[in-house]
Amino acid sequence: MTPRILAHLDDTPDFYLDQVAQVVMDRWWRGRVGLLGDAAFSSSPMSGQGTGLALVGAYVLAGELAAAEWNPEIGFACYEARMRSFVEANQEIAQLNARSRDIPGSDAEPGPDFTGEWFAELVERAINGVELPNYAGLPDSGVLAGPLTASSAKP
């Protein structure tokens, strides 16, 4: 297979090559800076959930900031607390998927046993493992921040 792929590299008009990697962070925020989506917790294409994680994360982040009356430290901490386990389940699935593709060797660890109850529980947590509160009615940031002043509008 490899020689056939290499033989076509120079001619193909749509060749795509990238690394498969995860972003695993100890924390997703510091001070007034918060991370979201791939920047905080890219799961990698090995799990296939990156878009969902980014969208759910955006919803929870906005909602928790509003619920915290736009106090960033409280909002970020609540966002991370709600999302962590959900994100970690998806990242674990990606790692298991990668491990299951290892080329077996004499010293290789045995591949994961996907028939166990633990795997069903992991998949359940990866799909439904985050509660999505109804944040309707909370004030948006503009209400509390008030109109932009000349000094606050500077970059």
Which residues touch 22 (CB under 8 Å, ≥6 apart)?
A: 42, 43, 44, 91, 94, 95
Site for ligand FAD (CB under 6 A): which residue of 25, 30, 45, 85?
45
Between 71 and 100, name the residue whose CB sits nearer to ligand FAD: 100
Residue with tokens 């999302």: 83
Distance between CA atoms of 20 and 88, rounded to whole angstroms? Answer: 17
Site for ligand FAD (CB under 6 A): which residue of 27, 30, 48, 81?
48
Binding residues with ligand FAD: total (CB under 6 A): 10
The secondary structure element, H or E, covering residue 33 is: strand 33-34
Answer yes or no: are the C-beta atoms of 20 and 45 closer than 8 Å.
Answer: yes
Site for ligand FAD (CB under 6 A): which residue of 51, 71, 85, 141?
51
What minimum distance in Å lies between the beta carbon of 113 and ligand FAD?
25
Among residue numbers 23 through 42, which ones bind ligand FAD (CB under 6 A)? 37-38, 42
Site for ligand FAD (CB under 6 A): which residue of 29, 35, 46, 49?
49
Residue with tokens 């990698």: 44
Among residue numbers 63 through 122, which ones bind ligand FAD (CB under 6 A)? none
The secondary structure element, H or E, covering residue 50 is: helix 50-67
Give the number of other Cβ atoms within 10 Å of residue 112's Cβ. 14
What minimum distance in Å lies between the beta carbon of 93 and ligand FAD?
12
Which residues contribute to the site for ligand FAD (CB under 6 A)?
37-38, 42, 45, 48-52, 54
